[in-house]
Amino acid sequence: MRFTVDLSQSGIPSEYWPQYQRAVTALLQQLSLRPELRLIAISGAQGCGKSTLAAVLVNALQQLGCRAAAVSLDDYYFAKQQRQQLAQQVHPWLAQRGVPGTHDIASAIRDAEAVLTGQPVSLPCFSKALDDVLPQRPLQQLDVLIVEGWCLGCPPQPASQLQRAVNRQEQQLDADGRWRRYVNQQLAGPYQRYFQFIQYLLYLQAPDWQAVCRWRQQQEEKLWQAQGQGMTTTELAHFMASFQRLTEYGWQQLPQLADVCWQLDQQQRILPIPA
């Protein structure tokens, strides 16, 4: 079967198109051998290009006559007011979106079940600029749902790894480990139940934490240009600190757990290109 991979509207630099076309075509070839797949996940650190890749895959699948759509795990974030309540009840750092425990994972599970059983679904939408929930998308019938997110498929950490802070902000804001234990409990419980619905997992592996922070800074700069609002450099550093623990743990675990792992270089190019 021949696949059309259109990157003209993807935002991917044109010099990267050949390798992305080969990589995406190889992935589509794999997926075509498993027509039962309805829930496909793309996991990877912030700035890895998950949403871009998801959009490219949706476009390619739609060209084949498949009713496909993409949703981000970010779209399932709790509303700002709900996170503020969580911060009061559990730990102040949970007012910030990001880690397991700040998503409406029960809704994500319901949507996954709906897609897998052939039921129509109304997908959520979240505004990062407003840091709040937007109205849901119209009800739609899907053959395939692609979900992308930074911690998809990640297992919980062993208790022994929770004892040490991984950065200065954990030392300052989570000296007693209460925040990281709660996050790990959420990851071990409802998030693992959600991950069980994933039928195919693609992992984008960033080269190091410094690259992730740099890529995320570039995303924030684009947000400022497009909407005139976003996080300052200081706010972004605070925001990113909460992601470091599970991002680095994911590097150890997810390459072995994923169906396929694409390694990225410092310029976000896929290395090596899958055969």
**Distance, first Cα to last Cα, the chain:** 16
- pLDDT for position 91: 98
What is the dihedral sign for C-alpha 18, 20, 21, 27? Answer: positive
Give, for all 275 residues of the chain, the pLDDT tens digit.
Answer: 677 788 888 888 888 888 888 888 988 888 888 989 999 999 999 989 999 999 999 999 998 899 999 999 999 999 999 999 999 999 999 999 999 999 999 999 999 999 999 999 999 999 988 899 999 999 999 999 999 999 999 999 999 999 999 999 999 999 999 999 999 999 999 999 999 999 999 999 999 999 999 999 988 888 787 777 778 889 999 999 999 999 999 999 999 999 999 999 998 888 865 44
259 in a structural domain: yes
Cα 52 to its chain centre, rounded Å, is 11
18 in a structural domain: yes
pTM of the model: 0.94
Residue matched to tokens 């509303």? 79
Domain that holds residue 52: 14-69+148-263
- pLDDT for position 100: 98
125 in a structural domain: no
- pLDDT for position 273: 54
247 in a structural domain: yes
CA dist 58 and 77 (Å) reads: 22
What is the dihedral sign for C-alpha 137, 141, 142, 147? Answer: positive
What interhelical angle do 50-63 and 17-32 show, nearest 10?
A: 60
DSSP, res 77: B
Domain count, the chain: 1
117 in a structural domain: no
22 in a structural domain: yes
- pLDDT for position 120: 98
Yes or no: say if 42 and 146 are a contact pair by the CB < 8 Å rule: yes
Burial class (CB in 10 A: 0-12, 13-18, 19+), 229: exposed
271 in a structural domain: no
- pLDDT for position 4: 78
CA dist 107 and 83 (Å) reads: 16
Q: Where are the beta strands (DSSP E) in the chain?
A: 39-44, 68-72, 125-127, 132-134, 144-149, 200-205, 260-263
Tokens of 154: 């990640």
103 in a structural domain: no
- pLDDT for position 1: 63
| CATH code for the domain in which residue 23 is found | 3.40.50.300
SS3 per-residue string spanning 185-237: HHHHHHHHHHHCCCCEEEEEECCCHHHHHHHHHHHHHHHHHHHCCCCCHHHHH
Neighbours of 267 (CB within 10 A): 12
